[in-house]
Structure 1
Amino acid sequence: MIPAPTVSTLDGNTFVVSDTAGDIDASPTEPNGLFSWDTRYLSRWILTVNGSRLRPLSTDDLHYFETRFFLVPGTGTVYVDATYSVIRQRAVVDGFRETLTILNHADNPIDLTVRIDAGADFADLFEVKDHLKKKGKYYTRVDHRLLLGYERDTYRRETLISTTSPADLDDDGLTYTVHLDPHTSWTTEIQVETSLWGWAANQAAHHRITSDEDTAHTRRDMETELQRWLEEAPKLECDWEPLKHTYRRSLTDLAALRFAPMTAGKRSLPAAGLPWFMTMFGRDSILTSLQALPFVPSLAATTLAELGARQGSRIDDFRDEDPGKILHEMRYGELTAFEERPHSPYYGSADATPLFITLLDEYERWSGDTRLAADLEFEARAAINWIDQYADLRGDGYIWYQTRNPETGLENQCWKDSWDSISYHDGTLPGFPRATCELQGYAYDAKRRAARLARDVWKDPSWAAQLEKQAADLKARFNRDFWIEDQKYYALALDADGNKVDALGSNIGHLLWSGIVERTRAKHIVDHLLGPRLYSGWGIRTLAEGEARYNPVGYHVGTVWPFDNSFIAWGLRRYGYKKEAARVAAGILDAAEYFNGRLPEAFCGYERTVTKYPVPYPTACSPQAWSTGTPLLLLGTMLGLQAVGPHLVVDPALPMGIGHLALLDVPGRWGHRDAYGRGRFQIRAEDRRKLRPQLSPLETVVNRREQR
């Protein structure tokens, strides 16, 4: 059995991925190591005692930034007790700080040779993913510290390793000679620091190892900050205990995934996810901010400000950049620095731009922060102009995408961005450009929301009327051009010739969220979403069973994505399908219990009655931002939370098994308000576990009377 990795992270800028013994032994293609700003600063960090590696007894995640490993020597047999044990405690603080403690349990003294092998390949994350070789040179310096370095022209990255106990340092690590009397212990502190520019530029700030008091103070600050983060979020009261655990886990993981861009000061926004995407992502940061708005609205404010500051301003084929376009991904590693990758930033996303306007409007509705909405008027107008001028590649009024960088640009620039995610029913792939259906829904929603802002905030009623007319025209054309009459659903996309790409996928659920679906057709869409081809019992699949490319273990062709389901549930509520929304919420939240409250990026699309539990997708990011935000949006959906003028409107519809649900102190332009929902039926936790394989969350309780 391969041990599960242990992940620690700090503010989204620095994180560690190791095995359950705390060791890092990364091959060039494995995402293990100490990473910061898209570079791996440690690829080897292996603890041995007397030449042998240790066995883990347990691993405790103390906080998202701190982990403790309990280790013993490998005795070769279960019948031999360990005479000593090792406690390895690691906190990710400006690199990481590791406290190593060895306890002698024997009646005799022992002499040990304790060794840490250290190495750094300084791999760019793209080099790890794409199996690429380095082009620069490595260097090592040893004095009272060990410095590992890499340089290529003016590009330099360094790792500095210091210790509080006497050690023999060499180019490959540290060695301690330890004598322990009976029933005594030995402790040392090791600090690993990272530098983007080399220590010469920061020598004054790094002339010594951080003191124990400094590190303890930093830890306390982080613990206090996390506690404040949790206390400021709405309080959840519920009679289903696993939901409480999932809620707290989501808030904690969201804190861990905060990313502070270099220009944001102490403000942060959601990074996309570990281990590959700890950076600013336009689409992911926007959608996660939407999910978290009723809980931590500050994330949305930072996301809007930072994405607006980096909005496209020119035509750049290498970066797929256009004026007004919102970035897709921002990177800071070597390949980006030498323009071997276009991520400085890269703009290959067709949905981030309309979604930017969606978030701006929703944020203003919730927060009442008209100042930010006013400040971003120019950016919002530029985004609308991008939709009308640059995204309409065929001149028919739709958003289309096609990369102008065939070497490193993304082929699919919708959220299903893998190569085979957009296909016809028979499995063939359409050519480019492509216009996926949900992009048109996002454009419709963006124009409706921009119209409201134009009228209420920017005081431009004539432009508001123009936007509303454009949105209405788009809705009429879309319902004509994308509808497949004999199948009773909307095409997944239009191909380069304007023909319908006829596969059935979860994209149609996003159409409900955007509001572009004609009311008379909504029932057909709902029947497909909750029908056996798309709905697995745990959630709605990305591609329907029966499509030629359907694969329950395929990334975008049959797996269940929690974030996808959360927005579909939101859309079901928009069209009045409360029971169906609660059914989707119940399936996903049931799945969360099996993942110990942490929903992964995706899980397999097997039928629930077949597997009895959600099967993990093998390479899913976890934690991942919009999966972390999923329980938050589902809570808001079950309670029917809406910001209407100065009021918080509550319209609950709870799945069977939740007797009562309350969110206390929901923040917004109204100050703080409480939201309650109550059900008619209640199932004890032990009965729920027994019934889970058969339990249908279709029966729901709708109670509009208890609102506040």
Structure 2
Amino acid sequence: MAVSRPDGQISEGSDGFYHGDRRGLSLLTAHAEDVPNAPISGGPDSAEHASFRTVLRGLAEHSPDPAVTLERRRAVEPGELSETITLHNAGLTGVRVRLTLRAASDLASMETIKSGRSVSEVPWAQEKDGLSWSDGEMTARLTCTPAPDAVEQAPAETAELRYSIELGARESWQATVRCTIEDEKGEAFRPATARARAEFASGAALATADRGLDHWFARSCSDLRSLLLADPLEENDTFLAAGAPWFLTLFGRDSLWAARMLLPLGTKLAAGTLRTLARRQGAVSDPATEEQPGKILHEIRRDGLHFGDGLSVPPCYYGTVDATPLWVTLLHDAWRWGMPAEEVERLLPHAESALVWMDEYGDADGDGFLEYVDSTGRGLSNQGWKDSGDAVRHRDGRLAEPPVALCEVQAYAHEAALSAAELMRAFGRPGAERWEEWAQRLRVRFRERFWVEDADGPYPAIALGSDKQPLDALTSNIGHLLGTGLLDEEEGRLVAARLAGHHLDSGFGLRTLASDSGGFSPLGYHIGTVWPHDTAIAVQGLVRDGHHAAAESLAAGLVKASVSFDGRLPELFAGHGTGTDTRPAPYPAACRPQAWAATSAVTVLQAVLGLEADAPSGRLTVRPRMAAGYVPLRARGLRLGEREFEVAVDADGTPRVSGFADGSVSVEASGPAQ
């Protein structure tokens, strides 16, 4: 991947060309010397391509109009960045241009760059066909065609490649710059094949009355294709990397949620994600990595991570409490969306191992709740999706003491147990009654222990702390309880009302922490910012439980936010909200693109259409109860198993489904409630 300034210069901060969690190029700039360089346009054209244009003022100008421009067209693919540099002279006279390219590399690790620690550039070596930088493990090579007129040493180990170009009237000059990476160690995972990327979400398209939703959906599909990685143990199994630049690897929780959100576009990604994680499912108890039998991993890195202050995680790290139940639920949902029965059945032993982990290891103290505590002393202190050190707290701002039992993890476990019971019955395996009873006991315990109350009434606490008492912060976590079966009708109504309140609903999506809570910060990573996937999960849960008004408002907020980010919603953004801002403010270190932020577009579409699938029974339900702001609407390239279908919603809210003319699938389609 490549990260640059808006004018195309790779020059500062986290800019660079990255490969395998390392930065191959930290500097690549182009300047015409001795004349003003005035950038006029630039940015991504697609996930793999970007273009930038700069006016060179004062050259060959015979009127107030610019005459000479510098154009850079950049492309990235696995292990290679290429850039075509073109000078255009639209003037009536010839001109000489002195073009200087500056290049450098620090070969720094991703964690070092993210931390902001200073890194020295690696000395460059001149080779027959260009330059190289190497630390013995990774080598970056830069070649230029045509070769520069001169290569010179500049301060701070920077190489300057100089061209003196005679550019006649109406003429153009062009050069190609290419950086390739040679990696002795190799990556933990490799990019998906070109065929897999081409097939991903092929045919998926959306046209609605809201161009913001359309653009968000299209941009997301493009970005997601480039986040596809393949399992080196089986390259046909693909999954989504969590996000660029910081998390371009396999994450259990992130990859599972992203695959689940994308099920309306097909089950192949879900199947690949499930199998990739199943191959690495915990088999032994290892305190150093937090591996346990049946547990699904947290993340895999090339070299592990070292955060400073004694915090570090190994290359394969299992420090997560929620990935294991989420794996079981994805298997169930993928089956409902048409994942082939034989593929589902082969994974059922892994699901059974995951259930045993939930019951025996996830509930280490036997109190009936899944909880976590870092056993290494140097790993993640919080191990739910809000895994920063200050994410879990009391309402007055006091931080949690481990072990911690998160509210949403109990919901995931409840849903996983019921999902597993349904799978066991469908495939003739024993144990369904046991897990239904397990889920019922959890449901009762949750009602007894997690609910707290303030002046506005009851709501679920974010967690139970080490003393088994509720941590009473009001958070977006409660949105994850909806649609899981954990709450009864009245409890669901209370949660929906809290989500719709102004302390959580920013107008651009849900704040992670209510704005009247102790420690709230609009730019706090998990204590006040807005995470698109978090809001999208709440939207889907609200729709499942029948709270369409609240779902519609939150979905509209995400669409509004996506417009401000040109359709590429970041991992998170500031939680100031529409009461003070007309557009959301970026969070400085957010991944963009990020998998579950992008897949949220599909979840919002699914909620708008009210899509529910039951492929084993040959049924599809379409109830567009919240489509009023988007009609007329046409969604193409949706999939139920091997069948592609289309949903259209007319201006009056009437849905039409095409693609099942042979009667193989019964469709229940109903318009807005009267």
Alignment match of 1:666 (pick from 605, 614, 638)? 638
Write out aligned runs for 1:318-467 (5 A): 318-333=288-303, 341-407=312-378, 409-457=379-427, 459-461=428-430, 463-467=431-435
Q: CA separation of 1:416/1:425 partners in 2, compared to 1, >3 Å: closer, same or farther?
A: same
1:654 matched to 2:637:
no
Partner Cα separation in structure 1 for residue 672 and residue 395 of structure 2: 46
Amino acid at match of 2:618: P
The answer for the alignment partner of 1:4 in structure 2 is none
Query: Is the counterpart of residue 45 in structure 1 residue 28 in structure 2?
Result: yes
Q: Which residue of 1 aligns with 2:670?
A: 704
SS in structure 2 of the partner of residue 394 of structure 1: coil
Counterpart secondary structure, 1:111: strand
Gaps of 5+ in 1: 1-14, 200-220, 683-702
Q: Distance in 1 between matches of 2:70 and 2:442?
A: 65
Contact 2:104 2:124 in 1 (8 A): no
The residue aligned with 1:160 is 141
Among residues 61, 67, 75, which one is paired with 1:91 in the alignment?
75
| Helix, strand or coil at the partner of 2:482 | helix
Q: Name the SS for the 1:432 alignment partner.
A: coil
**C-alpha separation between the residues in 1 aligned to 2:507 and 2:120?**
49
Counterpart CA distance in 2 for 1:74 and 1:312 is 62
1:158–1:198 Cα contact (<8 Å) kept: no
**Alignment CA distance shift 1:496-1:59 (3 Å):** same
TM-score scaled by length of structure 2:
0.88
**Contact between 1:399 and 1:435, CA under 8 Å: does it hold in 2?**
yes
Equivalent residues of 1:125, 1:333 under 8 A apart: no
Counterpart residue number, 2:467: 497
Are 1:64 and 2:47 matched, yes or no? yes
Structure 1, residues 94-134: CA drift from partner, whole Å, max 9, x if none? 31111111223444443333322211111110111234577
Residues 288 and 625 in structure 1, CA contact (< 8 A), matched pair in contact too: yes
- Whether contact under 8 Å (2:237, 2:273) holds in the other structure is no
Which among 517, 520, 537 is matched to residue 487 of structure 2?
517
**How far did residue 394 of structure 1 move?**
2.1
- Tell me the matched-pair count: 638
Matches of 2:202 and 2:344, distance apart in 1: 28
Q: Secondary structure at the match of 1:163?
A: strand
- Using the alignment, how far apart are the partners of 1:670 and 1:542 within structure 2? 38
CA distance in 2, matches of 1:112, 1:705: 64
Flag the 1:74–1:417 CA change in 2: closer, same or farther, 3 A.
farther
- Equivalent in the alignment of 1:180: 167
What are the residue-to-residue correspondences of 1:108-187 with 2, within 5 Å? 108-131=93-116, 140-151=125-136, 156-167=137-148, 168-169=150-151, 172-187=159-174
Answer whether contact 2:289 2:313 (CA < 8 A) is retained.
yes
Of 618, 635, 639, the match for 2:605: 635
Matches of 1:324 and 1:228, distance apart in 2: 32
Q: Which residue of 2 aligns with 1:25?
A: 11
Residues 509 and 169 of structure 1, relative CA distance in 2, 3 Å threshold: same
Aligned equivalent of 2:585: 615
Return closer, same or farther for 1:654/1:120 CA change in 2, 3 Å cut-off: same
8 Å CA contact 1:60–1:69 kept in 2: the answer is yes
The answer as to whether partners of 1:652 and 1:676 remain within 8 angstroms in 2 is no
Residue 503 of structure 2 contacts residue 515 of structure 2 at CA under 8 Å; is this kept in 1?
yes
**Displacement of 1:680 after TM fit?**
4.6
Amino acid at match of 1:475: R
- What CA distance in whole angstroms lies between the structure 1 residues aligned with 2:202 and 2:524? 39
> Kindly tell me: are residues 321 and 654 of structure 1, through their superposed partners in 2, closer, same or farther at Cα, counting changes over 3 Å?
same
> 1:520-546 CA deviation, whole Å, 9 max, x = no partner?
322211111112222223322211121
Q: From the superposition, tell whether residues 320 and 131 of structure 1 become closer, same or farther in structure 2 (CA, over 3 Å).
A: farther
**How far, CA to CA, are the matches of 1:107 and 1:503 in structure 2?**
69
Report the Cα offset of residue 226 of structure 1: 6.7
What runs of 5+ residues in structure 2 fail to find an aligned partner? 154-158, 187-192, 655-668
The Cα of 1:561 is off from its aligned counterpart by: 1.7
* Closer, same or farther: CA 187–277 of 1 in aligned 2, 3 Å: same
Equivalent-residue separation in structure 2 for 1:123 and 1:441 (angstroms): 40
Over the aligned positions, Cα root-mean-square deviation in angstroms equals 3.0
- % same residue: 33
CA distance in 2, matches of 1:376, 1:489: 37
SS of 1:71 mapped into structure 2: strand
Give 1:475 shift.
0.9
AA in 1 matched with 2:113: V
Do the aligned partners of 1:650 and 1:676 also contact (CA within 8 Å) in 2?
no
Return the alpha-carbon distance in structure 2 between the equivalents of residues 485 and 398 of structure 1. Answer: 21
Please state which structure has a larger fraction of its residues in helix.
1
Q: Is the 8 A contact 2:3 2:15 kept in 1?
A: yes
Determine if contact 1:479/1:518 at 8 Å carries over to the other structure: no
Larger displacement relative to structure 2 (567-576 or 171-180): 171-180
Q: Which amino acid aligns with 2:632?
A: H
CA–CA distance in structure 1, aligned partners of residues 353 and 320 of structure 2: 16
Pair 356,678 (structure 1): closer, same or farther in 2 beyond 3 Å = same
Distance 1:536 1:663, change over 3 A: same
Aligned to 2:605, what secondary structure does the other structure show? Answer: helix
* Contact 1:676 1:706 (C-alpha < 8 Å) held by counterparts: no
Q: 2:515, 2:147 → 1: CA distance?
A: 63
